Structure 1
Amino acid sequence: MVKKICVSQLRQGMYLCGTDRKWWDIPFLTTKFLISSDAEIETLREYCREVFIDLAKGVDVAAPDDNEPASALAAAAESGPLPQFYRRFESVLETVRAGGGIDFGAAVEIASDLRFALDNGAVSLDRVAGRSLADPALVHKSVNVCLLALGLARHLAVAPDLLRHTAIAALLHDLGLLGLPQSIIGKAAELTGAERSALRQHVSAGLALLHGVPGVPAEVLEAVGDHHERPDGAGYPRGLVAGKIGLPARLVAVASVYEALISDRADRPAQTKLDALGYLYAASPAQLDAALVAGLIEVLHAYPPGCIVELASGELALVGAEPANDLSRPPCRLIADANKQLLFQEQRLDLSDAAHKHLAIARVLARDGPFIELLATFAALERL
């Protein structure tokens, strides 16, 4: 339901869907977004007299009164950006469950709004926490993976159209899980062969739903269909190898695996951010795109033990296993100088120490890079 209100009634958590001014007359890229800051409200009050809000996507004018059981703080948190997106996508899934098919337009709008919210700082990747067993798994996972894939794609400066298709595919990548029984999805014990086969059918089920919608971009269909493919060819359903898997599918795969690792499951508890990133780094490049895993580590500013980083000085360092006071500035061992010549004697340094504040991590080396292959060769020779 769309409602016209005076700008004096604006508050955070409302979903703006129009104003009394032309879009080019106000300093926003779009007139459709979730209001998440006082600065946005002040800007709207400066340029407009009346605006339109969508009550299906945000809060109404009336603020919670003192007689309500929930505190104002809890109510504000519940109406924050991420819960709003969860509720909006749940509405899309409810339509599918009711047999109404996928409202692709609504999904595209949610993906676009997530991108805008990430761009303007309304949401951040640091706020993407794993799911608990009490959360609606598919809803939370879909929105979380969309945000992670968006953040990673933006970090890699992916072309706008490709970024848009990646966001849509990430939001819809596990759509086919709607048709699977909870006895399979939430099973704590190891799946049987028949159950594993049924689980893999969610890819074709999701594609079938999307094929029933005219105008779905081919890049979206490809990414939804291929997000379980792996560089070593061990993925499904087509057994594609590296070089045959499109970038959107690879972006969704990295985001999806990371999100699953930091979430509680019936068969295991959630991993920490650092443990999950360490798993991804070790699993690449056979199971996941190594360059994208390195990019995700850079985006999340948390460097797991065992990863190799390049400092702003050009020197290379191996992140140590010692506990880090600051995940973005971990203990390291210098292993190569600025000319990438291996050091005969490793030098230990803790980037969180004030003495090393001039040093910063510039990038993470992907595990399929030539230097890491060289290190592996030296390690093999030392064992001879």
Structure 2
Amino acid sequence: MLITLPINELKPGMYIERVSRQAQGASIKIKTRGMVREPAIIERLAKEGVQELIIDFAQSDVSIPKHLIPAKPSAHKPVNGASQSVRTDRPKLGERDFVLAPLEQEFLIASTCYDQSLGKIRAMYHDLTSGMQVNMSLLSDIADAIVDSVFRNPDAMAALTLLRDQSSYTWRHMLNCAILCAIFARYLGYEINKVRQMALAALLHDIGLAKVPQGILSKPGKLTDIEVKAVRKHVALGLGMLKGQKHITSMMLEMVVNHHERLDGSGYPRGISADKLSREARVLSIVDVYAAMIADKPYKKGEDPISALRYLLSQRELFDQALVQRFIKCVGIHPVGTLVQLTNERLAMVIQGNEDNPIKPKVRVFYNTMHRHHITTKDIDLSLNKDEIKIVASTDGSQFDLNLARLLKEHLLP
């Protein structure tokens, strides 16, 4: 997340992407980018006439400045649950601490949280492959930050789960599952303490993959039977890594152990059936499959959300269909952040779902697909428009040489 800051707000621990403004006539030679390690660097930059800088908070060691984060509200919009946070160095957030924040406002916080969390999970995952233990404190903090954002506005984090990168699939999948599990659990009315636990369980569900030969996970072709067995061992390996850890509850362990089990008993590792599967494990199994299907993997390009939802609906013997129906209403047929092609030869981004009429969300039109150029943005509620504009299909934007990550920042940042 790149944010412009004046020199007087620069702090040690911030990562400078570039200088954006200097005093007239100033001439300074500094690195294009780099971490600010000490106050002396800030003093030198100011002395040399630097007035404004672009800071990359995804690579910084400090959080986004407090004045860019929404202040704690005095009024509140009711949400389900009471708070219990793992961290002890910050106030515990309860239901009265949350109001529905504007999407643009929350996306600024959520995208910074997402980028930083992804980097921390990647580093921890590599540590695990080297034999180190799970850093539960770090993962608990990440899960808490996700849940806090989801309770302020679930659409902000949800949009980030649409980003694709096959080179970072394993740890991105862990993060995306935590986000989607938190969003779905909130939607189902779980109290916030349970939501935090479920998000952390989702963050941990594939932790055992760090003990699986990484060459198998990155293999571009079909796995052999022996390789499939090796991958399936990740459940037992993960359980072994988590037993006895702090912050782990029996519900969380059950979710981790059973996320690959299926209602008809065809899953693994134990082949247990519906009567042995908790509602929370069923939630995670749905989220896990959905997140995996829409993501780019080393061996396969991700599918669009509609295809993933259709698959879940078609597998009546495998997934709890009552929960699948509610999951569809929760994330939407066209999730916020999705790029869609319209009948008027325009490309738009979904900016608000429509639970009453899922095929007609609110969209922001920004691109002419016939002439292949950007146009002046315009927000349209497809359920109200008189021209009867409809969605033809969803797209990742690549066929128009568009980058979804860049578009999300352009259209969802304030």
TM-score range, shorter chain: 0.5 to 0.7
Secondary structure in 1 aligned to 2:276? Answer: coil
Instruction: Mark the CA change 1:79 to 1:153 in structure 2 (over 3 Å): closer, same or farther.
Output: closer
Match of 1:266 in 2: 298
Deviation at 1:104, TM superposition (A): 1.4
CA offsets 1:306-356 (integer angstroms, 9 cap, x no match): xxxxxxxxxxxxxxxx98997854669xxxxxxxxxxxxxxxxxx746479
Match of 1:203 among 214, 223, 235: 235
Measure the CA separation in 2 of the matches of 1:323 and 1:195: 46
CA contact (8 A) 2:208 2:239 kept: yes
Q: Give the Cα separation in 2 of the matches to 1:124 and 1:356.
A: 32
Closer/same/farther in 2, CA of residues 77 and 220 from structure 1, 3 Å limit? closer
Aligned equivalents of 1:151, 1:215: Cα separation in 2: 21
2:69 alignment partner, SS class: helix
Correspondence for 1:127: 160
Q: Which residue does the alignment assign to 2:9?
A: 9
Cα drift, residue 204 of structure 1: 0.3
**Unaligned regions of 5+ residues in structure 2, if any?**
1-7, 15-61, 74-88, 91-107, 336-341, 361-381, 389-414
Secondary structure at the counterpart of residue 243 of structure 1:
helix
Larger mean CA deviation between 148-157 and 115-124 belongs to 115-124
| Pick aligned residue for 1:117 from 122, 131, 149 | 149
TM-score between both structures, scaled by the size of structure 1: 0.60
Listed as ranges, the matches of 1:253-292 within 5 Å are 253-283=285-315, 285-292=316-323
Whether the 8 Å CA contact 1:132–1:263 is kept in 2: the answer is: yes
Q: Cα gap change, 1:193/1:82 in structure 2, threshold over 3 Å: closer, same or farther?
A: same
Instruction: Give the CA deviation at 1:129.
Output: 1.3
Q: Find the partner of 1:108 among 131, 135, 140.
A: 140
User: SS at the partner of 2:296?
Assistant: coil
Look up the equivalent residue of 2:9 and give its one-letter code.
Answer: Q
Please name the residue that 1:300 is paired with: 331
Q: Is the 8 A contact 1:200 1:237 kept in 2?
A: yes
Change over 3 Å in CA distance of 1:301–1:41 after alignment to 2: closer
Whole-angstrom distance in 2 between the partners of 1:102 and 1:247:
26
Q: 1:28-50: CA deviations, max 9, x gaps?
A: xxxxx954885536679xxxxxx
2:262 pairs, out of 212, 230, 236, with 230
**Where does 1:141-152 land on structure 2 (aligned, <5 Å)?**
141-152=173-184
**Offset of residue 238 of structure 1:** 1.4
Q: Residues 267 and 331 from structure 1, CA distance in 2 versus in 1: closer, same or farther, beyond 3 angstroms?
A: same
Q: Deviations over 1:124-145 (max 9, x none)?
A: 31221153222x2222111110
For the Cα contact (< 8 Å) 2:178–2:199, is it kept in 1?
A: yes
1:249 equivalent in alignment to 2:278: no
Deviation at 1:207, TM superposition (A): 0.5
1:92 aligns to 2:124 (yes or no): yes
Corresponding position of 1:167: 199
State the one-letter code of the partner of 1:223: M
Classify 1:34/1:157 alpha carbon distance in 2 versus 1 (closer, same or farther; 3 Å).
Answer: farther
Distance between the aligned counterparts of 2:65 and 2:184, measured in 1? 22
Superposed counterparts of 1:346-365, under 5 Å: 352=383, 354=385
TM-score after normalising by structure 2? 0.56
SS in 2 for 1:166: helix
- Alpha-carbon spacing, 1:186–1:249, altered in 2? closer, same or farther (3 Å): same
Q: Does the 8 Å contact 1:261/1:270 carry over to 2?
A: yes
Q: Which runs of 4+ in 1 moved over 6 A?
A: 41-44, 76-79, 322-327
SS in 2 for 1:112: helix
Identity of aligned residues (%): 29
Alpha-carbon contact 1:107-1:171 (below 8 Å) kept: yes
Measure, in 2, the Cα distance between the counterparts of 1:355 and 1:79: 35
Deviations 1:86-132 (A, max 9, x none): 11222332432332211112211211111012222383312211532
Note the aligned Cα RMSD (angstroms).
3.7
Cross-structure match for 1:364: none
- Residue-by-residue CA offset, 1:162-194 (whole Å, 9 max, x unaligned): 322211110000001111223321223322211
Return closer, same or farther for 1:268/1:137 CA change in 2, 3 Å cut-off: closer
Q: Cα 1:9–1:218, aligned 2, differ >3 Å: closer, same or farther? A: same
Per the alignment, do residues 34 and 232 of structure 1 end up closer, same or farther by CA in structure 2, a change over 3 Å counting?
farther
Within the candidate set 167, 175, 194, 2:226 is matched to: 194
Whether the 8 Å CA contact 2:204–2:256 is kept in 1: the answer is: yes
Post-superposition Cα deviations, 1:266-322, rounded to whole Å, max 9, x if no partner, equal 333110111111212222x31222122212211222169xxxxxxxxxxxxxxxxx9
Residue segments in structure 1 that go unaligned for 5+ positions in a row: 1-7, 15-32, 45-52, 55-75, 305-321, 333-350, 358-384
| 1:40 equivalent in structure 2 | 69
Q: Does 1:240 align with 2:272?
A: yes
Query: 1:173 touches 1:206 (CA, 8 Å); kept in 2?
Result: yes
Structure 2 counterpart of 1:113, one-letter code:
A
Deviations 1:52-106 (A, max 9, x none): x99xxxxxxxxxxxxxxxxxxxxx9997221111112223324323322111122
